[in-house]
Amino acid sequence: MRETLRIGAGAGFSGDRLEPAAVLAERGRIQYLVLECLGERTVALAQLRKRQDPARGYDPLLERRIELLLPLLRRHGVRLITNMGAANPIAAADAIIAIARTRKTPIRVAVVTGDDVLAKIEPGELTLETQAPIAKYGELVSANAYLGAAALLPALQSGADIVITGRVADPSLFVAPMVHEYGWQLDDVDRLARGTSIGHLLECAGQLCGGYFAEPGRKDVPDMAHLGFPYADVDADGSATLGKVERTGGCITLATAKEQLLYEVTDPFGYVTPDVVADFSTVTMREAGPDRIDVRGATGKARPAKLKVSVGYLAGYVGEGEISYGGANALARARLAGDIIRERLDREFPDLRIDLIGSTSLHGKSFDPAEQPYEVRLRVAARAPTPEHASLVGEEVEALYTNGPAGGGGTRKYVREQVGIVSTLIERERVPTKVILREWSRDAQAA
């Protein structure tokens, strides 16, 4: 058994920076590298790409991340775990094998499947959000159950260099190697809870190291242009020390770690994953050195009976338009522009939203009573059933150039498709998972 296990977090979302993962693999002395790249909506968007091309539907940055990491994984003995499979993990594995073949790098990839439950979801099932039937929302494009660490264990036991999955609960991507390396029982709730707290701290990568944290003068973070991504040294008990690679930017402090521990947690006394229900209120943290924080003490209760399913549906289109005003009376001119748009579009777009960027777009009001911004950007957004209809919004805003208030400049217009997400529950027995192996070796090439 290992003395400690070092797991690095090389990506916190699909669009995350590429090179911090390479730094971790090269200089981090890590055993596992986890890339968490699958947001709530990402899998539904991937499903749409798969519809257009059955060979796609995995993370759009997969090839670039693998090209960068493949030689480093091998050289430094690092195993990769990632949910970049998105809606099509088997195609993702094939894409990885294709890269390995070109580079003549022997590789074994284990694919975890079973999360896609679209064929099993009944339209009459009720959503957790509104208790309304799923069918009411519109055409369904995806339904993915959140798998737990258990689904990844056979993949890790297979000796694969890379484990690729679709939807897995984010902390479970980190808990899986802990369970695998230390042989934890799947009902050892306190160890699983401690592991889950560590996985949760790592899952957003840079957000533990000063990303989404910095405020000049009050919460200063050094060298954010080269933010280092974190790792955890996890012991057999699930306690861990957080750290990051030397000579990288960012910082890990009690403050950054506390913010991340509580991030997106709707109940700190009962954080639910497929593995365990973890109580974070008992967590204690201690500074163990520069950029090193000891984390221990999470406690657990038995895992939930059912798995959460996130369901994606087509939610129509959104049209947007923007235009800027500056100088004297900028706010009044932007408001006038908004009034004009409202009068022209109100009847056709019942959901019309008008924002004044630089004044009230974020919080709906300004908390500063004396506010008189020098420049204001009008933003108009509305939902529409077709892209053609949605494009009217931007066209109307653009027409303010010659028909609106004085000094309006810099218009932009956008139309985008919206995919909504709701959730429901599914019995575990209805979500059997499977591991499929793909391999490339020099022998295979000879044969």
Partner 1 sequence: MPKLHELAHCRAGDKGDTSILSLIAYRAEDYPLLAERVTVDAVRRHLQGIVLGEVTRYELPGLWALQFVCARTLNGGVTTSLALDAHGKSLSYALLEMNV
Smallest gap, in angstroms, from Cβ of residue 390 to partner 1?
11
Of 276 and 382, which has the nearer Cβ to partner 1? 382
Q: Return the axis-axis angle of helices 170-182 and 189-202, rounded to nearest 10°.
A: 130
Smallest gap, in angstroms, from Cβ of residue 81 to partner 1?
23
Smallest gap, in angstroms, from Cβ of residue 185 to partner 1?
28
Of 220 and 246, which has the nearer Cβ to partner 1? 220
Smallest gap, in angstroms, from Cβ of residue 262 to partner 1?
4
User: HSE of 345 in the Cβ direction (CA atoms, 13 Å)?
Assistant: 30
What does the DSSP assignment read for 356-425? EETTTTTTSS-S-TT---SEEEEEEEEEESSHHHHHHHHHHHHTHHHHSSTT-EEEEEEEEEEEEEEEEE
Of 48 and 265, which has the nearer Cβ to partner 1? 265
Of 229 and 271, which has the nearer Cβ to partner 1? 271
Are the beta carbons of 232 and 175 closer than 8 angstroms?
no
Residue listed under structure tokens 């575990």: 428
Smallest gap, in angstroms, from Cβ of residue 421 to partner 1?
5
Are the beta carbons of 35 and 75 closer than 8 angstroms?
no
Return d(Cα 403, Cα 390) in angstroms, integer: 21
Amino acid code (one letter) for 368: D
Return d(Cα 349, Cα 342) in angstroms, integer: 9
Smallest gap, in angstroms, from Cβ of residue 437 to partner 1?
35
Return d(Cα 447, Cα 430) in angstroms, integer: 40
Task: Tell me the two tokens of residue 4.
Answer: 């400690």
Of 177 and 358, which has the nearer Cβ to partner 1? 358
Smallest gap, in angstroms, from Cβ of residue 119 to partner 1?
22
Of 63 and 259, which has the nearer Cβ to partner 1? 259
Amino acid code (one letter) for 218: R
Smallest gap, in angstroms, from Cβ of residue 293 to partner 1?
12
Smallest gap, in angstroms, from Cβ of residue 166 to partner 1?
18
Of 235 and 259, which has the nearer Cβ to partner 1? 259
Q: Return the axis-axis angle of helices 189-202 and 254-262, rounded to nearest 10°.
A: 110
Residues ≥6 apart with Cβ < 8 Å to 396: 321, 341, 344, 345, 380
Smallest gap, in angstroms, from Cβ of residue 218 to partner 1?
8
Q: Report the interface residues with partner 1, using CB under 8 A.
A: 40-41, 129, 212-213, 215, 218-219, 255, 258-269, 280-285, 315, 318, 351, 353, 355, 357, 361-365, 367, 379, 381-383, 418-423
Of 269 and 374, which has the nearer Cβ to partner 1? 269
Return d(Cα 214, Cα 259) in angstroms, integer: 12
Return d(Cα 123, Cα 422) in angstroms, integer: 12
User: HSE of 199 in the Cβ direction (CA atoms, 13 Å)?
Assistant: 32
Of 98 and 128, which has the nearer Cβ to partner 1? 128
Of 32 and 137, which has the nearer Cβ to partner 1? 137
Residues ≥6 apart with Cβ < 8 Å to 443: none
